[in-house]
């Protein structure tokens, strides 16, 4: 069966737009990341960032391959448990952890990174509840990152990031003393910091800062140096105008730094990575039938079902890689420029901006690739149903990963009178 006919068959049962999951890409990225870091060091743990894309199928693939679940909320914690994760393979991060969840995670030996003093209060309450137990916690360390132009490299160019503990404030010593007095072991330092440039320099800073904090406060029970996520993954050609670091480059940068640290070399703690986008971007494509083609004052518009929320909810300006899948192979070259627009009622619902397409027709399909990061988890019910997700095996047979939302799903949590 041709790819066009397969998409047509899928669209007849699952709707005019849907996602295609490429599980093999996800697995390959994880294995590539793993082997790049294992070349440097064998005590590396990978935790998959649920918030980036928690399609259960992906989380299960992660689980089957020894990958931990990196969760940042009550909802994500419950999802990991639902998917069969044990607490001891869960890394529990995030700015708002409920005391009941911290309690369960501590009792179950999760790797838990505290973000603030209010979470210390929760830990104190839990210690009092279980006076005979010894608990272990990690601390997220607030980072300051500077790009090559001397500006803040933190996401959105923010000067001061809001996560973790401020180690430049004397109060930090009180936090450590407080945990010591409670008999709580500090077993992890966490440095995840979202940057806008994903540069090697940031990882040098993060690694160096974790080592400095460890050394300065003599934290001798550290078992995990957690570098966090924020890496580039494999990039489709021409997507952005620069070469991006490879997994090997990140591994070299991080370990060059770690290997200069005497305590690290002597004690050999685990190194934790928390990849999200870098392993999942190319694991998902969005497919929609072309529903209409129109020309307004000499500008060509191509209408699809769904829209920008399905492919880039951040509305960034980069055109993602795409293909036109037509019923017949095009023999003539008749390229014209189109704006591919979505089926919402927003003017700015621009899926592809001024791209050249060869002779598209209504009922052809457009496939937009590299949409795995922060799409599924951010698709609102704005105007449209949430689309299905399918995967296609090597025999060209498709499996349903998620059904298309129905009207009953949509109203299920509302109270109707």
Ligand X SMILES: *Cc1c(COP(=O)(O)O)cnc(C)c1O
Cα(340)–Cα(245) distance, rounded to whole angstroms? 31
- Distances in whole angstroms, Cα of residue 378 to Cα of each of 314, 373, 386, 389: 9, 10, 10, 15
Nearest to 358 by CA among 333, 341, 325: 333
Q: 315 in helix, strand or coil?
A: coil
Q: Which is nearer to ligand X, 145 or 340 (CB)?
A: 145
Q: Any residues with CB less than 8 A from the CB of 88 and at least 6 apart, and which? A: 108, 109, 110
Q: Shortest approach of ligand X to residue 195 CB, angstroms? A: 8
Q: Which is nearer to ligand X, 143 or 219 (CB)?
A: 143
Q: Which is nearer to ligand X, 213 or 304 (CB)?
A: 213
- Distances in whole angstroms, Cα of residue 52 to Cα of each of 154, 313, 345, 406: 18, 12, 27, 24
User: From the CB of residue 159, how many other CB atoms can be counted at a distance below 10 Å?
Assistant: 8
Q: Shortest approach of ligand X to residue 164 CB, angstroms? A: 10
Q: Shortest approach of ligand X to residue 326 CB, angstroms? A: 34
- Say if residues 165 and 139 touch (Cβ distance below 8 Å): yes
Q: Which is nearer to ligand X, 138 or 360 (CB)?
A: 138
- Say if residues 401 and 391 touch (Cβ distance below 8 Å): yes
Q: Shortest approach of ligand X to residue 183 CB, angstroms? A: 27
Q: Shortest approach of ligand X to residue 237 CB, angstroms? A: 21
- What tokens does 165 get? 């503990």
Q: Shortest approach of ligand X to residue 194 CB, angstroms? A: 6
Half-sphere exposure of 375 toward its Cβ, with a 13 Å CA cutoff? 31
| DSSP code of residue 195 | B
Q: Which is nearer to ligand X, 228 or 269 (CB)?
A: 228
Q: Which is nearer to ligand X, 276 or 306 (CB)?
A: 276
Q: Shortest approach of ligand X to residue 247 CB, angstroms? A: 12
Enumerate binding residues for ligand X (CB under 6 A). 49, 51-52, 70, 72, 93, 192, 194, 228-231, 274-278
Q: Shortest approach of ligand X to residue 79 CB, angstroms? A: 15
Q: Which residue is nearest to ligand X (CB)?
A: 276
Q: Which is nearer to ligand X, 231 or 309 (CB)?
A: 231
Name residue 300's beta-bridge partners.
Answer: 295
Where residue 18 falls (left for φ over 0; alpha for ψ -120 to 50; beta otherwise) is: beta
Cα(30)–Cα(370) distance, rounded to whole angstroms? 16
Helix axes 74-82, 56-64, angle to 10 degrees: 60
Nearest to 376 by CA among 79, 101, 177, 12: 79
Q: Shortest approach of ligand X to residue 49 CB, angstroms? A: 4
Q: Which is nearer to ligand X, 196 or 363 (CB)?
A: 196
Q: Which is nearer to ligand X, 11 or 49 (CB)?
A: 49
Cα(408)–Cα(359) distance, rounded to whole angstroms? 39
Cα(361)–Cα(132) distance, rounded to whole angstroms? 71
Q: Which is nearer to ligand X, 136 or 190 (CB)?
A: 190
Q: Shortest approach of ligand X to residue 275 CB, angstroms? A: 5
């Amino acid at each position: 069966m041709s790819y066009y006919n397969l998409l047509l068959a899928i669209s007849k049962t699952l709707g005019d737009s849907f996602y295609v999951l490429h599980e093999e890409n996800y697995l390959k990225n994880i294995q590539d990341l793993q082997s790049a870091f294992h070349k440097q060091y064998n005590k590396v743990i990978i935790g998959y960032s649920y918030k980036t894309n928690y399609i259960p199928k992906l989380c299960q693939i992660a689980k089957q391959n020894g990958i931990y679940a990196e969760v940042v909320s009550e909802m994500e914690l419950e999802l990991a448990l639902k998917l069969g994760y044990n607490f001891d393979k869960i890394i529990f991060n995030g700015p708002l952890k409920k005391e009941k969840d911290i309690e369960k995670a501590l009792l179950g030996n999760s790797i838990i990174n505290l973000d603030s003093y209010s979470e210390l209060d929760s830990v104190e309450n839990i210690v009092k509840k279980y006076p005979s137990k010894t608990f272990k916690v990690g601390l997220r360390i607030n980072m300051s990152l500077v790009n090559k132009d001397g500006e803040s490299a933190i996401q959105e160019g923010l000067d001061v990031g809001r996560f973790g503990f401020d180690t430049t404030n004397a109060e930090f010593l009180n936090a450590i003393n407080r945990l010591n007095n409670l008999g709580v072991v500090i077993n992890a330092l966490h440095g995840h910091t979202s940057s806008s440039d994903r540069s090697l320099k940031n990882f040098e800073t993060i690694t160096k800062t974790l080592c400095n904090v460890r050394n300065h406060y003599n934290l001798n029970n550290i078992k995990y140096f957690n570098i966090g996520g924020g890496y580039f993954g494999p990039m489709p050609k021409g997507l952005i105008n620069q070469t991006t670091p490879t997994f090997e480059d990140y591994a070299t940068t991080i370990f060059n730094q770690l290997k200069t640290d005497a305590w690290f070399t002597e004690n050999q703690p685990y190194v934790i990575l928390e990849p999200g986008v870098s392993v999942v971007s190319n694991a998902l494509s969005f497919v929609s039938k072309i529903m209409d083609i129109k020309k307004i004052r000499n500008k060509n518009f191509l209408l699809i079902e769904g829209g920008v929320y399905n492919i880039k909810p951040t509305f960034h300006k980069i055109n993602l890689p795409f293909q036109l899948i037509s019923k017949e192979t095009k023999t003539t070259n008749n390229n014209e420029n189109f704006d591919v627009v979505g089926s919402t009622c927003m003017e700015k619902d621009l899926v592809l901006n001024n791209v050249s397409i060869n002779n598209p027709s209504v009922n052809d399909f457009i496939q937009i690739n590299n949409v795995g990061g922060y799409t599924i988890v951010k698709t609102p019910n704005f105007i449209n149903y949430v689309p299905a997700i399918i995967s296609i095996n090597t025999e060209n047979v498709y499996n349903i990963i998620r059904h298309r939302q129905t009207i009953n799903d949509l109203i299920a949590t509302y109270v109707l009178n």
